[in-house]
A and B are shown apart, each in its own frame.
Chain A
């Protein structure tokens, strides 16, 4: 490390941005072969992977017959056929190896009586191509993500991976198709750092914070995809954003689907198990997009608990039949959340729930080795990788199945880590040094304390964005609303460029960080709204009331949104249909 003009400089073979499941898995693999550094905005153990609850799907077949091919099919159908099928087959096959590897690295899964990894039911996971729900989710209580994060971090400690905790990525060094490092800010000191590297992986997680009600952490602000979008890298399938059906009412805190996997049911004010009307076969374990729409429909039609269809209206998740023992043993955290935040005991009182913005299916387009695809004649970028929620392989298509986020992290985090190491080992040095330094100096100037004046604050803009996205780019969408959202987001982006932090300190300048994060969210919200306006059909999580049907003839294709200043243009890419023909999606 050396300082030049106040900019600290580092050189590594591989630099990984983000230390959730994907980043840590990649780091673990890459660090075996090449010098690897991991940058993370929050301490790695604070990453949002730790909040994942219910489980990781893998066709181990420990408690009943199961096959990876069935898992792949469920993934494709769950994603409303917008899934790239070759990638889904890799996902389902890789899941089995990944779960075994995690166990062997110490992950404390729940066990069957004979000592094997226990498995339970989860939404949309079926046996024999949709016959009935199957036990596929491997789990550790309702803290599966916490255990994955802990296990991977522990292994990184064992392998002495170099961590740069509380470093926020500002930019990537990108010359044409070649990536040669990142610029980041050390948040506790405010110092700027230039990391030159032969390969860079972005694993920055989701961006649910663009919505008012979300299960996502405060840190989930889409830093990786936003940085790349501003370099002209197209973002894929941005119109597909998943609302998890069961967020704690008012807070959006996630209540895992495993509650329904263990036997919990959704009920309206009349006590009716309303999923019988929407999904006769899978009932409460239908995929999330279907259940979320069902809940909103119940509320709209006056069957919510308030009955007035207001934003505070809700339905309930009834877990009283599970009994105290099952809740304490298999869903202890959920039981605790209900006590802490709602003051209720879920073994006695049904849980008030509402859909909560949860997961971005879209993001940085990659191939199945994690390489960022350019969507143009270059094919893919060199030395630039993405994995986890910020990436779009695409294995989730138009709607992700429960447990598949953790599967995606470990399968594609692992593959990207292996490939970025191989690439770094085989390539020469990173690109010319001057490029990165110039970029870092530009950032240093931009970040000079300027002292904010009157005018809108970041908080004003944030509230407007969150409300707009919730109301107009949420579960049900309409063309005129989306068009209004696009215009309003343009305006919000203009106003954002006038924001100046009032806090003049360098060290731990939270206000400055939040302005940068808001800028990232606004860019992604804008691209989401434009993509949603463009897609004139309903598929998976993207539900257009003005275009209610799925339209394979026109829309069985991925969208690629490219940001160019104030403008977003949309391109397309075909879907890989190597295995299954699209069929109507019924459950």
Chain B
């Protein structure tokens, strides 16, 4: 089939003139949208810029806004977003991050937030060296959903709070990463992490708008994990006050 695709182009170095450019290409319904972009880049316009790597939805390189919604281009089939002779498919870079060129955004503010939550196991290493720690299947399952995160930044892009309310909000992905360790029975870093999350730009700006959950290409229940984390912070403060 022939599809029409409008790509929001941005020149490097912040040159003015962001504009949609229209491409008309032959594509199969079962092709990935990523294949279509590669075809355009390699055959039609070599200056088109986007990131790609694994090509099957596990590396997180090619999150972008397709028909107004954050998706991975490699996990989006042509038939999911286009119909033969139908309206143009629009492709834009992620929101809430600076555009470097075309569909490539600067990721540093996103990963800086990720690093803020101490996204690593904090555990006393006493005893039983040379053996694994024990963890029941139930304890392991408690944080499974969060381990699915590939840090593609789709949720951060879709977050209306970051866009309209508090641009310094920690954002959904960083909270999911915090949750991944808060809910891990092996971790002993809760105190540090919960104090960080309790900051004004931490977990509290979330308004339960559910956009993160809607767009997550890994199907993570992001909003649910954010609310769970809010409860952990509240409980932690209550215990501290009691002890206090």
Contacts and interface: CB of A to CB of B under 8 A. Distances in A.
Contacts of A505: 12, 47, 101
Contact of B115 (A43, A99, A157, A506): A157
A51 B58 contact: yes
B186 to A, nearest CB: 7
Interface in A173-231: 188, 217-219
Given A459-B42, A510-B49, A147 B147 contact: yes
Contacts of B199: none
Contact of A110 (B119, B123, B140): B140
B101 A51 contact: no
B57 interface: yes
B107 A105 contact: no
A508 B53 contact: no
Majority SS at the chain B contact face: loop
Contacts, number: 155
Interface stretch (A73-81, A111-119, A481-489): A111-119
Contact of A458 (B42, B61, B111): B42
B133 A218 contact: no
B184 A108 contact: yes
Contacts of A154: 119-121
A340 B101 contact: no
Given A51-B59, A147-B147, A341-B77, A43 B42 contact: no
Interface stretch (B124-132, B200-208, B236-244): B124-132
A508 B100 contact: yes
A106 B54 contact: no
A286 interface: no
B18 interface: no
A150 B147 contact: yes
Contact of A333 (B58, B136, B151): B58
Interface residues of A, number: 63
B208 to A, nearest CB: 26
A218 B53 contact: yes
Given A45-B60, A106-B184, A507-B12, A100 B130 contact: yes
A155 interface: yes
Given A146-B150, A253-B56, A111 B135 contact: yes
Kindly name the residue among A108, A150, A217, A458 whose own CB sees the greatest number of chain B CB atoms within 10 A: A108
B86 interface: no
Given A110-B140, A157-B120, A458-B42, A188 B125 contact: no
B204 to A, nearest CB: 24
Nearest to A106: B121
Interface string B136-148: 1101100110011
A511 B46 CA distance: 6
A104 interface: yes
B133 A103 contact: yes
B31 to A, nearest CB: 10
Contacts of B121: 105-106, 151, 154
A151 B107 CA distance: 20
B75 interface: yes
B104 interface: yes
A260 interface: no
Contact of A508 (B49, B115, B119): B49
A475 B101 CA distance: 41
B59 A506 contact: no
A587 interface: no
B137 A111 contact: yes
A117 B100 contact: no
A157 B121 CA distance: 11
A42 interface: yes
B52 A218 contact: yes
Contacts of B100: 188, 507-508
Contact of B104 (A50, A188, A340): A188
A45 B150 contact: yes
A188 B108 CA distance: 12
A520 B143 CA distance: 41
Interface string A83-104: 0000000000000010110011
B140 A510 contact: no
B43 A459 contact: yes
Interface in B46-83: 46-61, 75, 77
A503 interface: yes
A217 B42 contact: no
A510 B77 contact: no
A58 B150 CA distance: 26
A417 interface: no
A106 B53 contact: no
Nearest to A96: B130
A340 B32 CA distance: 10
B41 interface: yes
A511 B40 CA distance: 12
Nearest to B146: A108
B176 to A, nearest CB: 12
Contacts of B51: 42, 46
A104 B122 CA distance: 10
B13 interface: yes
A110 B120 contact: no
A452 B181 CA distance: 51
Contacts of A104: 123, 125, 132-133
B47 A217 contact: no
Given A219-B53, A336-B57, 14 more contacts: A42-B53, A42-B59, A43-B111, A46-B60, A48-B53, A103-B133, A106-B187, A113-B136, A154-B119, A157-B120, A188-B104, A217-B59, A340-B75, A510-B41
27 contacts: A42-B51, A42-B53, A42-B59, A43-B61, A46-B60, A46-B61, A51-B56, A104-B132, A104-B133, A105-B121, A106-B187, A111-B140, A115-B139, A116-B134, A141-B144, A157-B120, A158-B118, A218-B54, A333-B58, A336-B57, A337-B57, A459-B42, A503-B47, A506-B12, A507-B12, A508-B12, A508-B49
* For the complex of A and B, 4 pairs with smallest distance between CB atoms: A106-B121, A115-B134, A507-B12, A154-B120
